[in-house]
């Protein structure tokens, strides 16, 4: 086992060990999502199993290194706390697609009672969002749950206006309506009468201090993702310290990364919301024998079996393979420096 410093920064395995069984894959998406049409990932095989390293390509190394720490934790360390559930209820995730495609995209998720809808996309208007949310509510029926994710795109006035316009569709919560913690706090104070909860996503996973948003009482719940937070233990510690309900969500990973998300969700003492871990349904392929596509609104917790044929079928082109291997090496270097300083 590698040495762990007092701040929890673990000395990474040697680069040769890290990359010994690495496979770089490139999987087409069923629908364009956050501007991409393919998802690229590195699958790493450690002594404890397969792990995924898939920070989005535009991320700087400093941010991507945390994703590598999570992958190392998953592949090289034994799981810590015991799981308290073996199945995770999940939501469907609806990108900003045209109205006539909503039904087809939702069908990929099977029987999910909850849908997360992307809103405030660049190039779209509030009227577009209202139409998409209305159509989703029509398809889902009165009892389905609808949550929105604006990825911090609104200022406080825009967010207040949008939430008031969309509130009639009965919103479970709105994720990251504004970018900053002070904006979220102001928005929450302004809309307290209409009882639409606010969730933080980027204000947790991209923040220097992931607890600051909770400390400021700026949100009602947290969205947590294992990879950008550095792994399961760190994510569990953040939730415990924040003292807020948490939704576990994906990073649009393959089923290897989703299994880490499911393992995190399985270890939270309370899981009051459906989790954003149904996103295998947005991929046109996967790397495991039984992809974690939702069945009856849930995905299982437990080990995955890698599909070697799929690794070959979705192998990334040579230039992308080189790019990812170099990225792993640079991020590993950053982790080594951090562990030495720890
Ligand atoms: O939470 C979900 O329903 C699915 C995951 C999801 O929405 C996201 C995955 C990856 C990148 C993000 O832009 C996005 C999010 O902001 O939550
Ligand atoms: Mg989000």
DSSP string over 90-137: B-EEE-S--GGGHHHHHHTT-S-SEEEEE-S-TT--HHHHHHHHHHHH
Judge if the beta carbon of residue 251 lies within 6 A of ligand 1. Answer: yes
Active site residue 131: no
Q: How far apart are CA 132 and CA 97, in angstroms?
A: 8
Domain containing residue 334: CATH number: 3.30.390.10
For the cut 80, the answer to whether the pLDDT of residue 306 exceeds it is yes
Residue 246 lies inside a defined structural domain of this protein: yes
Q: Are residues 203 and 142 in the same domain?
A: yes
Q: How far apart are CA 255 and CA 260, in angstroms?
A: 9
Active site residue 118: yes
Q: Are residues 105 and 122 in the same domain?
A: yes
> What pLDDT was estimated at residue 8?
59
Q: Are residues 168 and 296 in the same domain?
A: yes
> Best mutation site among 33, 67, 119, 149 for ligand 1, i.e. most ligand atoms within 8 A of its Cβ?
149
Beta-ladder partners of 308: none
Residue 100 lies inside a defined structural domain of this protein: yes
Residue 209 lies inside a defined structural domain of this protein: yes
Residue 7 lies inside a defined structural domain of this protein: no
Of 243, 245, 262, 244, nearest in space to 253 by CA: 262
Q: How far apart are CA 298 and CA 280, in angstroms?
A: 12
> What pLDDT was estimated at residue 81?
87
> What pLDDT was estimated at residue 80?
78
Query: Stretch 318-339: mean pLDDT, rounded?
Result: 98
Query: Stretch 328-338: mean pLDDT, rounded?
Result: 98
Distance 251 CA to ligand 2 centre (A): 9
Residues with CB under 5 A from ligand 2 (ion): 149, 175, 201
Q: How far apart are CA 141 and CA 43, in angstroms?
A: 39
**Residue ID of nearest Cα to ligand 1 atom 14:** 251
**pLDDT tens string 233-242:** 999 999 999 9
Q: How far apart are CA 180 and CA 190, in angstroms?
A: 15
Residue 314 lies inside a defined structural domain of this protein: yes
Judge if the beta carbon of residue 34 lies within 6 A of ligand 1. Answer: yes
Q: Are residues 188 and 147 in the same domain?
A: yes
Query: Stretch 170-199: mean pLDDT, rounded?
Result: 97
Q: Are residues 195 and 56 in the same domain?
A: no
- The conformation of residue 42, written as its DSSP 8-state character, comes to E
Determine if residue 342 is labeled as part of a ligand binding site.
no
Phi-psi category of residue 181: left, alpha or beta, with phi > 0 → left and psi -120 to 50 → alpha: alpha
**pLDDT tens string 234-274:** 999 999 999 999 999 999 999 999 999 999 999 999 999 99
| Banded pLDDT at 311 (limits 50, 70, 90) | very high
Domain count, the chain: 2
Residue indicated by tokens 């090496």: 329
Q: Which of these ranges, 1-10, 184-193, 234-243, has the smallest mean pLDDT?
A: 1-10
What global pTM score does this model have? Answer: 0.97
Q: Are residues 202 and 97 in the same domain?
A: yes
Which whole-number Å values give the CA distances from 112 to 10, 106, 145, 253, 268, in the listed order? 38, 8, 9, 19, 21
Percent of the chain with pLDDT over 90: 94
Judge if the beta carbon of residue 42 lies within 6 A of ligand 1. Answer: no
Torsion from C-alpha of 97, 103, 108, 110, nearest 10 degrees: 140
Helix, strand, or coil (residue 213): helix
Q: Are residues 137 and 220 in the same domain?
A: yes
| Banded pLDDT at 34 (limits 50, 70, 90) | confident
Distance 251 CA to ligand 1 centre (A): 6
**Residue ID of nearest Cα to ligand 1 atom 12:** 251
Determine if residue 170 is labeled as part of a ligand binding site.
no
On whether the CB atoms of residues 283 and 254 are closer than 8 A, the answer is: yes
Q: Are residues 63 and 136 in the same domain?
A: no
Number of Cβ within a 10 Å radius of residue 202: 16
Domain containing residue 235: CATH number: 3.20.20.120
Q: What is the mean pLDDT of the chain?
A: 96
For the cut 70, the answer to whether the pLDDT of residue 4 exceeds it is no
For the cut 70, the answer to whether the pLDDT of residue 342 exceeds it is yes
Q: Are residues 20 and 139 in the same domain?
A: no
**pLDDT tens string 113-125:** 999 999 999 999 9
Q: Which domain holds residue 329?
A: 15-80+308-341
Q: Are residues 115 and 155 in the same domain?
A: yes
| Residues found in the chain | 342
Determine if residue 195 is labeled as part of a ligand binding site.
no
Residue 76 lies inside a defined structural domain of this protein: yes
Q: Are residues 165 and 208 in the same domain?
A: yes
| Nearest listed ligand to the Cα of residue 249 | 1
For the cut 60, the answer to whether the pLDDT of residue 104 exceeds it is yes
Q: Are residues 132 and 67 in the same domain?
A: no
């Amino acid at each position: 086992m590698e040495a762990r410093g007092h701040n929890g920064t673990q000395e990474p395995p040697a680069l040769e060990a890290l990359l010994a069984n690495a496979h770089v894959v490139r999987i087409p998406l069923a629908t364009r999502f956050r501007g991409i049409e393919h998802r690229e990932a590195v699958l790493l095989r450690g002594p404890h199993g397969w792990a995924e390293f898939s920070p989005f390509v535009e991320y700087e190394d400093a941010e991507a290194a945390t994703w590598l720490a999570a992958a190392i934790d998953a592949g090289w360390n034994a799981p810590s706390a015991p799981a308290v559930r073996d199945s995770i209820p999940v939501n469907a995730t609806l990108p900003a697609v045209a109205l006539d495609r909503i039904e087809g995209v939702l069908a990929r998720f099977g029987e999910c009672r909850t849908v997360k809808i992307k809103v405030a996309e660049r190039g779209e208007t509030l009227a577009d969002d209202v139409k998409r949310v209305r159509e989703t509510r029509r398809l889902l029926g009165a009892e389905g749950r609808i949550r929105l994710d604006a990825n911090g795109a609104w200022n406080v006035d825009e967010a207040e206006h949008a939430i008031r316009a969309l509130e009639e569709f009965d919103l479970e919560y709105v994720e990251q309506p504004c970018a900053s913690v002070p904006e979220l706090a102001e928005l929450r104070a302004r809309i307290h009468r209409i009882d639409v909860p606010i969730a933080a996503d980027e204000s947790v996973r991209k923040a220097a201090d992931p607890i600051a948003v909770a400390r400021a009482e700026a949100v009602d719940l947290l969205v947590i993702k294992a990879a950008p937070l550095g792994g399961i233990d760190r994510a569990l510690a953040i939730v415990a310290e924040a003292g807020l309900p948490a939704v576990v969500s994906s990073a649009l990973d393959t089923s290897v990364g989703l299994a880490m998300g499911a393992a995190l969700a399985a270890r939270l003492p309370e899981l009051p919301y459906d989790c954003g871990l149904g996103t295998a349904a947005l991929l046109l392929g996967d790397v495991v024998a039984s992809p974690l596509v939702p069945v009856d609104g849930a995905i299982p917790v437990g080990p995955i079996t890698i599909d070697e044929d799929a690794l070959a079928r979705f192998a990334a082109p040579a230039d992308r393979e080189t790019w990812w291997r170099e990225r792993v090496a640079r991020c590993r270097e950053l982790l080594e420096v951090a562990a030495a300083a720890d």
